[in-house]
Chain A
Amino acid sequence: MDTQWETYEVFHQSKRGEPHEHVGAVHAPDPQMALHMARDQFARRLNCVSIWVVRSKDVTMTDYQDGDFFARTTDKSYRDPKAFEAPDKLHK
Chain B
Amino acid sequence: MNEKDQEALLGAFEARIERGEKIEPGDWMPEDYRKTLIRMIGQHAHSEIVGQLPEGKWIPFAPGFRRKLTLIAKVQDEAGHGQLLYRAAETLGKSRELMLEELLAGKAKYANVFNYPTPTWADVGVIGWLVDTAAVINQTMLAQTSYGPYGRAMKRICYEESFHIKQGYDSVVALVKGTPAQRAMVQDSINRWWYPTLMMSGPPDTLSTHTNLSMRWKIKTKTNEQVRQEFVDLIVPQIRALGMEIPDKVCQLDRSTGHYRYTQPDWEELRRVVNGDGPCNKERLDVRRKAHADGQWVREALAAHASKSQAA
- Considering the chains assembled together, what is the distance between the CA atoms of A4 and B86 in angstroms? 11
Cβ contacts under 8 Å, A32 to chain B: 309
Question: A45 in the interface, Cβ–Cβ < 8 Å?
Answer: yes
Q: A9 → chain B, closest Cβ, in Å?
A: 10
A60 within 8 A of B: no
Question: Which of A24, A27, A29 meets B96, CB within 8 Å?
Answer: A27
* B173 CB to nearest A CB, Å: 23
A39 to chain B, nearest CB (A): 11
Question: Can you name the residue of chain B whose Cβ is closest to the Cβ of A62?
Answer: B26
Binary interface encoding of chain A residues 30-65 relative to chain B, with 1 for a CB under 8 A from any of its CBs, else 0: 101100000011001100000000000000010111
Residue B296, interface by CB 8 Å: yes
Interface size class of B (residues with CB under 8 A): 20 to 34
Closest to A42 in B: B156
Given contacts A30-B306, A64-B27, A65-B26, contact A24 B87 (CB under 8 A): yes
Q: Determine which of B27, B73, B87, B101 lies in contact with A25 in the assembled complex, contact meaning CB atoms within 8 Å.
A: B87
Whether the pair B27, A3 counts as a contact (CB closer than 8 A) is no
Q: Does A90 contact B (CB under 8 A)?
A: no
Chain A residues whose C-beta falls within 8 Å of the C-beta of B27 in the assembled complex? 64-65
State whether B305 touches A1 (Cβ < 8 A).
no
B268 at the interface (CB under 8 A from A): no
Per-residue CB proximity of A1-14 to B under 8 Å, as 1/0? 11110010000000
When C-beta atoms are compared, the residue in chain B nearest to A65 turns out to be B28
Output the nearest chain A residue to B153 by Cβ-Cβ distance.
Answer: A24
User: Across the interface, do B96 and A4 meet the contact criterion of CB distance under 8 Å?
Assistant: yes
Shortest C-beta distance, B155 to chain A (Å), equals 11
Which among A1, A4, A32, A41 has the highest number of chain B CB atoms within 10 Å?
A: A1
B38 to chain A, nearest CB (A): 16
B303 and A44 contact, CB distance less than 8 A: no
B-chain residues with CB within 8 Å of residue A45 when the two chains form the complex? 160
For the complex formed, measure the closest distance between the CB of A26 and the CB atoms of chain B, giving whole angstroms: 7
B300 — nearest CB in chain A belongs to which residue? A2
Instruction: Evaluate contact between A29 and B302: CB separation under 8 angstroms.
Output: yes
Cβ contact within 8 Å between A30 and B26: no
Nearest-neighbor residue (CB-CB) of B83 within chain A: A41
**B120 CB within 8 Å of chain A:** no
Q: Check B101 against A1 for contact (C-beta < 8 Å).
A: yes
Q: B97 in the interface, Cβ–Cβ < 8 Å?
A: yes
Question: A63 to chain B: which residues have CB within 8 Å?
Answer: 26
State whether the Cβ of B84 lies closer than 8 Å to any Cβ in chain A. yes
The 8 A CB mask of B289-305 against A (1 = contact, 0 = none) is 00000001001101101
Residue of B nearest to A4 (CB): B97
From A26, A29, A44, A64, B83 is in contact (CB under 8 Å) with A26
**Residues of chain B within 8 A of A33, CB atoms compared:** 302, 305-306
Contact of B6 with A by CB under 8 A: no
**Which partner residue on chain B sits nearest A25 by CB separation?**
B87
Cβ-neighbour of B76 out of A24, A26, A44 (below 8 A): A44
Complex contact A64–B100 (CB within 8 A): no
B286 within 8 A of A: no
Query: In the complex where A24-B152, A41-B83 touch, is A2 in contact with B296 (Cβ < 8 A)?
Result: yes
> Judging by beta carbons under 8 Å apart, are A7 and B87 in contact?
yes
When the two chains form the complex, which single residue of B73, B84, B96, B310 contacts A3, counting CB atoms closer than 8 Å?
B96
Closest 6 CB pairs of A and B: A4-B97, A29-B306, A30-B306, A29-B302, A64-B27, A64-B26
Q: What are 21 sample pairs from A and B whose C-beta atoms fall under 8 A apart? A: A2-B299, A2-B303, A3-B100, A23-B156, A24-B87, A24-B156, A26-B87, A27-B83, A27-B87, A29-B306, A30-B305, A30-B306, A30-B309, A33-B302, A33-B306, A41-B84, A45-B160, A63-B26, A64-B26, A65-B26, A65-B28
